Amino acid sequence: MYILGVVEGHNSSAALLHDGDLVAVCFEERLTRLKNEFGYPIRSIEWCMKYAGITPEEIDSVAMVTENLPFAQIAVKREATFDVADYIREQEEFWKPYLIEKKKVNYLDIFKDKIRLHELPYCTNDMKLDRTSFEEFREIRKEIFRTHLKKRDDQLHIVNHHLAHSFYAIFSKPTSDKPLLVLSSDGYGDDCSASVGIWRKNKFEFISKSVGSGIGRIYRYATLLLGMRPGVDEYKMMGLAPYAKEYRWRKVCDAMRPYLKVIGMKIDYTNPDPEIYFSLKERLKAFRFDEIAAGVQNWSEDISVEWVRNCISATEIRDIVYSGGVSMNVKINKRIMEMPEVNSIFIGPSGGDESLSIGAAWALWHQMKPSIPIKPLSNTYLGPAYSKEECVRAIREELDESYIVKENASDDDVVDLLENGFVVARAAGRMEYGARALGNRSILARPDDPMMIRRINNQVKNRDFWMPFAPVILQEYSELYLVNPKSLPSPYMTLAFDSKPLARKHLRAALHPADDTMRAQILTRDDNPKLHALVTRFAERTSIGGLLNTSFNLHGEPICCSPQDSLRTLKNSGLDAVLLENFLIRRKK
């Protein structure tokens, strides 16, 4: 039995489940090359079917994620196309008239210049549809599945947003017989901004939902206040926060108190003002940028800790799984992890809306086949891989005589470069899904040289100067490098840890410069045997049990997927080399 899960909102994606086993996942942005792609992910769906060797008729059911999807934001591909000026315009010309002045305004009338419906397969040009035209758009969405995948209405199932987040949280964790406290938190999705559920004896139930705006939405508008894109750049505000001193940010934290209040297992929206952005702008106008970043971050951590503590107290369940956009904030996760009430916390890879296709497929499978177990996620390497012939074709098409190509490169060939300070990208095996590269589409570098940060930023990434890189470390070195008294696994870079003295020597370039924390990928042989072998060989030759690991892409572009993407990134950056499957490609200089 095949179930297809589909996300049509920002970071659209497709996931294919076969008899309870996740066999393929693809993000549409990786194929269209438009970061944070929106809408029906036709290329990802086609790739999933091709990988599984099936036709549309062989898909038994479709899990469509989110009941109330805003048509207007899809029509303009908001998170994919808006810059900061567009988001400010959205506040001033849509939200302010709508929420403060109580005027009726049409979103698409305001953003006529941004409409990109011609790029989407939806059968409508009705500009009267607005962001709250949920029912009408639901029917338009179904029509795509009827025509493209030849599905009947009884094969189309719309899965609640937070139910999909919850099932993603449950089954991205290795199998456990213990009851689980299932948490999700985001900006808003269908009927809530945060949910609490219990997974026990193969049954799930919600026990609480928070219906107002939550941490995710308020954090979003604080990001915009700092001149960054909401829904896209929150990680930058999180990265900026540790640079501020507590005596400076504490007042910001205090100014944030009116917005949310934790009551039992609910996070109540208590903002006395009619909206968020202009309210934040007024309340925080006297504070500096770094104070705002740190104050909002620490306030978010405090709210989260209080919420989790109440949930544990009410349920007496101390093992947590967590998903939703807020679960991408590794510093919040760190605070929860360190709570004495928490036995364990597991956070799956990329818990934002992009993974809802997976969670929805799992939720629908459990509804339809509750007696047949779902196979939990074992790794993220579920995307496209490329053959030797495809690599050779790309090399011939993309490269000239200024590059050296070595076939059948060994780990020692790659480690020779890394050991001597060269920056090497690795594009090998099936592409990982998610926002964080986990070795198969990664840029790797020696982690003990602090100048590597500037070098990679200047030559390749062009990231904001305050942003940290992260390490991939061998599990056998983890006790030497990081503080992890509960011995929690961290295969997906979803937890942050304090570092130990040896890490500050060996992994200097992969720690946060301000607080020496690390967003570590703790690697076992079972996670990725070939990557593990490469890092192990580097450790044998240098006594350093890890590498700097950052995503293989140019600034503003999606992570590389195909051989062509990889070689174009090599040509348009200062990368020293690319390992493309077993081809090691270097500049002659």
In 507-584, alpha helices (H): 529-542, 563-571
Domain with CATH 3.30.420.40 in the chain: 174-347
> Hey, what CATH topology would domain 2-162 get?
Nucleotidyltransferase; domain 5 (3.30.420)
Residue partners of 474: CB distance under 8 A and separation at least 6: 523, 532, 535, 536, 539, 545, 546
* Domain 388-587, CATH class in plain words: alpha beta
| Structure tokens belonging to residue 26 | 């693809």
pLDDT in tens, the chain (589 residues): 999 999 999 999 999 999 999 999 999 999 999 999 999 999 999 999 999 999 999 999 999 999 999 999 999 999 999 999 999 999 999 999 999 999 999 999 999 999 998 899 998 766 667 777 888 899 999 999 999 999 999 999 999 999 999 999 999 998 878 999 999 999 999 999 999 999 999 999 999 999 988 999 999 999 999 999 999 999 999 999 999 999 999 999 999 999 999 999 999 999 999 999 999 999 999 999 999 999 999 999 999 999 999 999 999 999 999 999 999 999 999 999 999 999 999 999 999 999 999 999 999 999 999 999 999 999 999 999 999 999 999 999 999 999 999 999 999 999 999 999 999 999 999 999 999 999 999 999 999 999 999 999 988 888 888 999 999 999 999 999 999 999 999 999 999 999 999 999 999 999 999 999 999 999 999 999 999 999 999 999 999 999 999 999 998 999 999 999 999 999 999 999 999 999 999 998 7
Residue partners of 67: CB distance under 8 A and separation at least 6: 134, 138, 158, 160, 161, 190
Taking the C-alpha atoms of residue 13 and residue 27, their distance in angstroms, rounded to an integer, is: 4
Q: Which residues pair with 320 in a beta bridge?
A: 181, 345
Residue partners of 369: CB distance under 8 A and separation at least 6: 1, 20
Is residue 149 within 8 Å of residue 88, measured between CB atoms?
no
| Structure tokens belonging to residue 171 | 């089954």
Q: How many of the other CB atoms lie within 10 Å of CB of 182? A: 29
Prediction pTM value? 0.96
Domain with CATH 3.90.870.20 in the chain: 388-587
Level-2 CATH architecture, domain 174-347: 2-Layer Sandwich (3.30)
